[in-house]
Chains A and B, each alone.
Chain A
């Protein structure tokens, strides 16, 4: 995956910007930390979120964790395959395990997110 349009949050979400639409998922580090994901509470299409709002919940065998909206926007699509196969997030966190799309989204906030290098540096600190 090309990384020049890929952004990260300190809570381990990623945001991929394609024109007027942005895709949201959790990072490989996040899926690794959560362990086997058994359920994704997908948001409803049309849900309006502010940046840092809880967008959805992912559940692993041991716990439920919030996934926060990296930027403000409106949910325009969800990855329905996660309903029956949430393990796609474990297998391909930044690919087939994408969670939802935001359209429109607040492009002015993208600049406040981390680029891949910054995110990797954050992980290295821990």
Chain B
């Protein structure tokens, strides 16, 4: 697929000398001054990411809670105003259409944040299945988003924007004024403290420039990937896809509500039968990395496949995710990864690989 979509910050990236790549059809920065430097800067200080490519939907009106509760694995009825929650959009057979975060403004106003590559599919799926009278808006173009992440993220947001983010609890959000309604949520995809900032798209370049002037350096998709991997967070298209259920992804806790939803019957059946394969984290001593698509072996037999793998800049060894036969999916078990040139000794590890102190 050729990158055809550009975020409003595209020119800013090019001006900063970013290396641009195609990501899910979007022309996005993979790095600015280097993946490792950007990774370390996020772990030790603060960086910001252009995440405008992700989708933002608003679902509003009486019946909106019933409508999205039927479609998402998220227990939206248990949410409070100002809370965000992770969950899935499933097919009837339990296959994962997307992983997403739901924001509750109030019982009749919700925002759903989805992945870039799945945006059109999600939009059609959700819109066509909402009950009559519930309003659906794809605000992905109208609103823009950047993530500010790192141990100094809250102080930076206060200094640059005058917005207090430090008092927000984890997975909580609030609105503020920034040329209209803006949102700050204590969420992210790095395993660090940090926020996601949603503002009107017409103001995003100005917002970005304010952080640049405030001394914040941007980080690209390369560092975003190594950061999320260390934090043990799955990436749609790698760990998650329509071919796996939340049971196989070892994320049943995000699909555990009692109320029926699209896919709940399949998830229940799958849990009772027991999945054939399960997602695990693994680590490899040394620097030679396993990569997505490589075979996982156990005693010479093929028992699974790597979905992500990278040298971990923070840990200084190799980490990754793989689907393996359920019977082998125990922390501490030894497995091997066939890179095609060599066989690497790996060990199933507990998640997350890295946790901010």
B121: interface (CB < 8 Å): no
> Chain A interface: which size bin?
10 to 19
User: In the docked arrangement, what's the CA distance between A36 and B37, Å?
Assistant: 9
The chain B residue with its CB closest to the CB of A63 is B291
Asked if residues B291 and A38 are in contact (CB atoms below 8 Å), the reply is no
* In the complex, chain B residues 297-355 whose Cβ is within 8 Å of any chain A Cβ: 310-311, 313, 339, 341-342
Asked if residues A61 and B341 are in contact (CB atoms below 8 Å), the reply is no
Contacts of A62 in B (CB 8 A): 30, 35, 222
Asked if residues A39 and B35 are in contact (CB atoms below 8 Å), the reply is no
Contacts of A28 in B (CB 8 A): none
Contacts of A61 in B (CB 8 A): 35-36, 222, 226, 310-311, 313
The chain B residue with its CB closest to the CB of A66 is B341
The chain B residue with its CB closest to the CB of A59 is B289
User: In the docked arrangement, what's the CA distance between A4 and B31, Å?
Assistant: 35
The chain A residue with its CB closest to the CB of B291 is A64
Asked if residues B35 and A57 are in contact (CB atoms below 8 Å), the reply is no
Contacts of B286 in A (CB 8 A): 39
Contacts of A39 in B (CB 8 A): 286-289, 311
Asked if residues B341 and A36 are in contact (CB atoms below 8 Å), the reply is no
Contacts of B30 in A (CB 8 A): 62
B237: interface (CB < 8 Å): no
> Chain B interface: which size bin?
20 to 34
User: In the docked arrangement, what's the CA distance between A39 and B311, Å?
Assistant: 9
Contact with A along B10-49 (1 / 0, CB 8 A): 0000000001000000000011001111000000000000
A117: interface (CB < 8 Å): no
Contacts known (A61-B226, A61-B311); A35 close to B34, Cβ less than 8 A: yes
Asked if residues B291 and A36 are in contact (CB atoms below 8 Å), the reply is no
User: In the docked arrangement, what's the CA distance between A38 and B36, Å?
Assistant: 9
Contacts of A59 in B (CB 8 A): 287-289, 311
Contact with B along A61-94 (1 / 0, CB 8 A): 1111000000000000000000000110000000
Asked if residues B35 and A35 are in contact (CB atoms below 8 Å), the reply is yes
* Cross-chain contact of A35 among B222, B313, B342 (Cβ < 8 A): B222
Asked if residues B289 and A64 are in contact (CB atoms below 8 Å), the reply is yes
Asked if residues A57 and B341 are in contact (CB atoms below 8 Å), the reply is yes
Contacts of B288 in A (CB 8 A): 39, 41, 59
Contacts of A86 in B (CB 8 A): 287
* Cross-chain contact of B35 among A36, A41, A64 (Cβ < 8 A): A36
* Cross-chain contact of A38 among B31, B289, B342 (Cβ < 8 A): B289
Contacts of B310 in A (CB 8 A): 61
Asked if residues B287 and A38 are in contact (CB atoms below 8 Å), the reply is yes
Contacts of A63 in B (CB 8 A): 291
Contacts of A36 in B (CB 8 A): 34-37
The chain A residue with its CB closest to the CB of B288 is A39
Most chain B CB inside 10 Å of its own CB: which residue of A41, A61, A64? A61
Contacts of A87 in B (CB 8 A): 36
* In the complex, chain A residues 21-44 whose Cβ is within 8 Å of any chain B Cβ: 35-36, 38-39, 41
The chain A residue with its CB closest to the CB of B35 is A61
User: In the docked arrangement, what's the CA distance between A64 and B292, Å?
Assistant: 12
Asked if residues A38 and B222 are in contact (CB atoms below 8 Å), the reply is no
The chain B residue with its CB closest to the CB of A60 is B35
Contacts of B339 in A (CB 8 A): 64
Q: Besides A36-B35, A39-B286, A59-B311, 11 other CB < 8 A contacts?
A: A36-B36, A38-B311, A59-B288, A60-B35, A61-B36, A61-B226, A61-B311, A62-B30, A62-B35, A64-B339, A87-B36
13 residue pairs A–B, Cβ–Cβ below 8 Å? A35-B34, A35-B35, A38-B36, A39-B289, A41-B288, A41-B341, A59-B288, A61-B35, A61-B222, A62-B30, A62-B35, A64-B339, A86-B287
Q: Which residues of B contact A (CB under 8 A)?
A: 19, 30-31, 34-37, 222, 226, 286-289, 291, 310-311, 313, 339, 341-342
Q: Which 10 A-B pairs have the closest CB atoms?
A: A39-B287, A38-B311, A36-B36, A61-B35, A39-B288, A36-B35, A36-B34, A38-B287, A59-B289, A35-B35
